[in-house]
Structure 1
Amino acid sequence: MTGFLALLGLARAGFTAPSFAIFTDLMTGWVCAPGRRTITAMITVADPAGRRAHDAYHRFVRDGAWAMPRLWQSLATHLVARFAATGTVELACDDTLFHHEGRHIEGAGTFRDAVRSTLAKVVYARGLNLVVITLQVRPPWGGCPIAVPVNMRVHRKKDTTTTIGHAATMLTEIAGWLPGRELHLCADGAYATLARDLPDRVHLTCRMRRDAALYEPAPARTGKRGRPRTKGARLPTPAQLSKTLPARAFTTAQVDVRGATVTKLVHVTDVLWYRINKTRLVRLVIVRDPDGVEPDDYFFTTDPHAGAAQIIGRYAARWAIEICFRDTKQDLGGQNPQSWKRRGPERAAALSLWLHAATWSWYLQTHPDGRTWTPRPWYRHKATPSFLDALAALRRALWSGRITAMSRSEPDNTKITEALLDTLAYAA
């Protein structure tokens, strides 16, 4: 319990003393509250005696004099120092929709719902469109990496800043928080244009369009009058290139795909994707399934020193951000806090993502072996903990501290207390 309170203490500088006390109560109440994580449910657990006015907690989220960027900075610097102290800082970026019904929710709009949409049908839903950057953490037990949020923005309808613009702003912020560190961002193809103007010390890995217009590098100046050429001869598109390449142009690579080693055939070439960046070459990687079951895939990176296996592995690890979104919505109830006005909706969503990162940080430090969960008869092959297991361990520690403080120290109560804690751990 003290370890989690110490993590909350990282954000103390961003609050006054009274507001920090409310922040601590809300975060612990968010973890321990059963059922839907409304602000009222958090208060019921964190402040059952009513030490503060009920509306003080709502005002804190909606109008409190504190800034979310300071909370992100304190947590991001701690996470990087703890889990990525050396080497390149691996990041991932994507956007997600936090569902909210109603026409009077500040910042909400109707956006494409990526979870429910398919190639044949696009589904739209109302809510907050969040652009999130996460830190990729390799857990000590191996397997799939863990994505922990380190920055977030809300993209509004008719916003002059696009989702790509929000991502670029956050990247610049993170680079400023981590002076001297190399950053590498992975994102899906929608964020490919980030390669136009990356901050110093930042590289990007993305999926490339099948019909991307590629060129050879600009030829050397001839000494003739006139403006020099900015691009060379036109090259085939990635899809055309993969069809015309002979089999000998591909090499075999052993790729780490979320903890599993997979064999792929790869072809690497440096090209100029003129639409994305007019002066900087990108490294194109064509990935082929040796068995011919999966279609060819195409990735690019602005890192000129990255190998094919590293590029593919980085992009595969990007899937962890999708797991982060699912866990924040389903296990933490990130869509549940009923704060609708002014800064309330955006702050509530940001706090849920902040708490997701804080929970994983606490768990990785206090349970490095990951053995806190009980194997289920229907899930015999489970070998690593999930976020729900981490949340249950934290909930158990917080409830244990509260119950112990209110209980008599008699041996007869031990079995009852342990059974109660086990139930509370997975009650929410």
Structure 2
Amino acid sequence: MLTLPTRIIHVLRHFEEAFSERVWEWAKVLLIGAILAPGERTVAAILRVMGCSDEKQFQNYHRVLNRAIWSSRELSRRLLVLLVCLFVAGNEPVILGLDETIERRRGRKIAARGVYRDPVRSSKEFFVKTNGLRWISMMLLTSIPWAQRVWALPFLSVLAPSERYHEERHMRHKTITDWAWQMILQVFRWLPGRSLVIIADGTYAVLDFLLKVSRLPGVSAITRLRLDACLYDPAPAREAGKRGRTALKGPAQPKLAQRLKDPATQWEKHTLSWYGGTTREMEIATGTALWYQSPVPPVAIRWVLIRDLAGQYEPTALLCTDLHAQAAQIVEWFVLRWTVEVTFHEVRAHLGVETQRQWSDLAILRTTPALLGLFSLVTIFAQQLLDAQAFPVRQAAWYCKTLPTFSDTLALVRQHLWPSAFFSVSSTDADTIQIPRVLFDRFVDTLAFAA
């Protein structure tokens, strides 16, 4: 039996009913072991770190991932509701980041793997391909009180196989925006009555996708916009008695690339929250238009042009499907998208994403979303363990660290788990040895910060 800190038990009770009683006991061992284990997050590594090397029925822990009956989607719903209750006030919009990442995996038995552009290793000059699995992840972008910055907390991740995968199985192929639309619709149903703001990159600047999002009440999307997009004025009112079909659009507006060079463009200076927790003075021009390209009906958008006074950043255009949103707020919301990339890096560096070895289709569909969701769960554990107290940031004589990062957060949770979870599932032999408290604390501190 696991003996866990009381505050962690209270968090886990939100997810207990999603499992049967027997599977839940095995799942808890996998969960705590995934937090404590350094390096690879394989089932074998987790059992070793939990003191279960002599467990003869080890296959039961593998079956939690590849055979047991439980719903990843239900766990995602419970995680999202818990995150919103803890970190988002009832009168504030729920800001959601949407992006995809490639999990580099090889192996002939991994059916859904494909060949994709590696977004990390590629650049404008070099195109790097990689084998792996493509995941679309939705994350809650919210300020963490003790970190004093916005974190991206994953709660729903979906595998998006390649077109070749669907062709070989005679299945209808779903594009990235098809999967994204289903994810947004699911979250819309999970959080009835809440305003949702979806932030994504230019991959999701697709007319039919934006049209669907704009028709959901209380939901808006923010993405990049091409400088050569075809924008139009609203359609004029139909004259009485006029024959023919109703006009969909009015006269064409100048391209955004032309507005950048037009001296008549009205620019306003704003001091904006920028990348890296800094502020930056930028010039902004904005307006409303219909973005139209046959055969998709036009989408009403607010476009925003951003120009850097210092010339360090190239001019950028954004769009928002909420016509009443403030231009400066749109830019600051979009800047939050960078925290999604930070989370993708953190889960690889500290939670072992890309080190798992499952090849069963069901285990693959469950393991990577679970490791991504573990980032959010560790954050919740830390929030509950701190109980509004100051975060004890690790210090050294040569490095003064003012704010905690995720590595500190993971270490804090581990420091509470090692004295309880580890020794409670270790050998039943009553033999003990005594070690000085200073040495014990040093061992725990070293293990807690192990990558």
Range class of TM-score, shorter chain: over 0.9
User: Is the 1:91–1:136 Cα contact (8 Å) retained in structure 2?
Assistant: yes
Match of 2:297, SS? coil
Distance 1:18 1:52, change over 3 A: farther
Partner of 1:375: 395
Partner of 1:82: 86
Cα distance in 2 for partners of 1:157, 1:317 equals 28
User: Is the 2:199–2:221 Cα contact (8 Å) retained in structure 1?
Assistant: yes
Superposition map of 1:22-37 within 5 A: 22-37=26-41
- Of 166-175 and 50-59, deviating more is 50-59
Distance 1:379 1:237, change over 3 A: farther
Cα distance in 2 for partners of 1:54, 1:82 equals 36
Match of 1:235, SS? coil
Cα distance in 2 for partners of 1:142, 1:352 equals 21
Distance 1:402 1:57, change over 3 A: closer
Distance 1:133 1:307, change over 3 A: same
Cα distance in 2 for partners of 1:124, 1:378 equals 40
Match of 1:134, SS? strand
Give how far 1:392 is off: 1.1
Distance 1:213 1:370, change over 3 A: farther
Partner of 1:91: 96
Partner of 2:15: 11
Distance 1:410 1:26, change over 3 A: closer
Cα distance in 1 for partners of 2:280, 2:62 equals 50
Partner of 2:170: none
Cα distance in 1 for partners of 2:156, 2:450 equals 29
Partner of 1:105: 110
Partner of 2:256: 238
Cα distance in 1 for partners of 2:62, 2:113 equals 19
User: Is the 1:211–1:237 Cα contact (8 Å) retained in structure 2?
Assistant: yes
Partner of 1:426: 449
- Of 336-345 and 402-411, deviating more is 402-411
Q: Does 1:290 align with 2:303?
A: no
Superposition map of 1:33-48 within 5 A: 33-48=37-52
User: Is the 2:393–2:402 Cα contact (8 Å) retained in structure 1?
Assistant: no
Cα distance in 1 for partners of 2:393, 2:27 equals 29
Cα distance in 2 for partners of 1:419, 1:141 equals 25
Partner of 1:59: 63
Partner of 1:161: 174
Partner of 1:207: 224
Q: TM-score, normalised by structure 1?
A: 0.94
Give how far 1:364 is off: 2.8
Give how far 1:2 is off: 2.9
Partner of 1:219: 236
Q: Does 1:401 align with 2:424?
A: no
RMSD: 2.2
User: Is the 2:350–2:407 Cα contact (8 Å) retained in structure 1?
Assistant: yes
How far does the alpha carbon of each residue in 1:137-173 deviate from its partner, in whole angstroms, 9 at most, with x for none? 1022465410001211100012411111111111111
Match of 2:293, SS? coil
Amino acid at match of 1:217: P
Partner of 2:169: none
Alignment gaps of 5+ in structure 1: none
Q: TM-score, normalised by structure 2?
A: 0.89
- Of 50-59 and 336-345, deviating more is 50-59
Alignment gaps of 5+ in structure 2: 167-172
Of 200, 215, 218, 1:187 maps to 200
Distance 1:292 1:337, change over 3 A: closer
